[in-house]
Structure 1
Amino acid sequence: MTAALVTTVSALALLVAAWTGLTAARDRRVGRAHLVGLAVVEAVLLVLVVVLAADALDGTRPVELVTSLAYLALSPFVLPAAALWSLADRSRYSTLVLTVACLGLAVVAYRMLLLWQVQR
């Protein structure tokens, strides 16, 4: 189930990254539809974080526990921070902030999966 959630998070994040990259290329600003797309990615990410946190509480612990817990604790704040930055700065480049955040989130989700596969 974890691999399916990571795949879903990564695919949605890459889709939104492509969308916001295209929006930046067309010299458009962030709209409400972009924020809804980010909210969908964030919701699936929160489900992944809850599943992995429940695994950690059940005794399934990855070898690099501190790194894994840091990813779990900090990853839900990436998209809201990028959205706030993007809404505060209404330039063309604010849309690229969302693109970079979504690309980074896809990598972080995959890294969480890799860390969680190596267990004690």
Structure 2
Amino acid sequence: MIDALTVATAVAALALAAWCGYAAFRDQPTKDWHFIGMAVVTLLALVQLVVGVVRLAQGDKPHEGGVIFVAYLIGALCAVPAAGLLSLSERTKWGSVTVAAGGFVLAVLQVRLYDIWGGVSA
């Protein structure tokens, strides 16, 4: 894995969570610019998925197994788009809360991906 990409994805996800959390605080639903932010964060997660699969194809092995690593990569890719789709069905502040939660989940998944790859030895 590329540590800088993992950090960038986690920071962008937390920024999205804070941004949507602020919108929820102001009783606002998700707006078009929130969806642009979601697209940027999702693009980072997609790049990470591609990099992770390429690294696996090159023979690099995560410490906790390739299957769980790929499963976390796919989950990370789906976290924010799923929250965005849910926010479309809830056009109140709770839609913004949903996206904020999705961004936070993505940040946590980044930490877990780092651990799975072998970034932290226990």
- TM-score, L = length of structure 1: 0.92
RMSD: 1.3
Q: Which residue of 1 aligns with 2:70?
A: 69
Moved over 4 A (4+): none
User: Offset at 1:29?
Assistant: 1.1
Structure 1 counterpart of 2:98, one-letter code: V
Identity %: 34
Q: Which residue of 2 aligns with 1:13?
A: 13
Give yes or no for contact 2:13–2:103 (8 Å, CA) kept in 1: yes
Gaps of 5+ in 1: none
Give yes or no for contact 2:63–2:118 (8 Å, CA) kept in 1: no
Q: Which residue of 2 aligns with 1:57?
A: 57
- 1:96-111 alignment, distance < 5 Å: 96-111=97-112
- Measured against aligned partners, the alpha-carbon deviations of 1:56-110 in whole angstroms (never above 9, x if no partner) come to 1111111322221210222211111111100111122111000010001011012
Structure 2 counterpart of 1:27, one-letter code: D
- TM-score, L = length of structure 2: 0.91
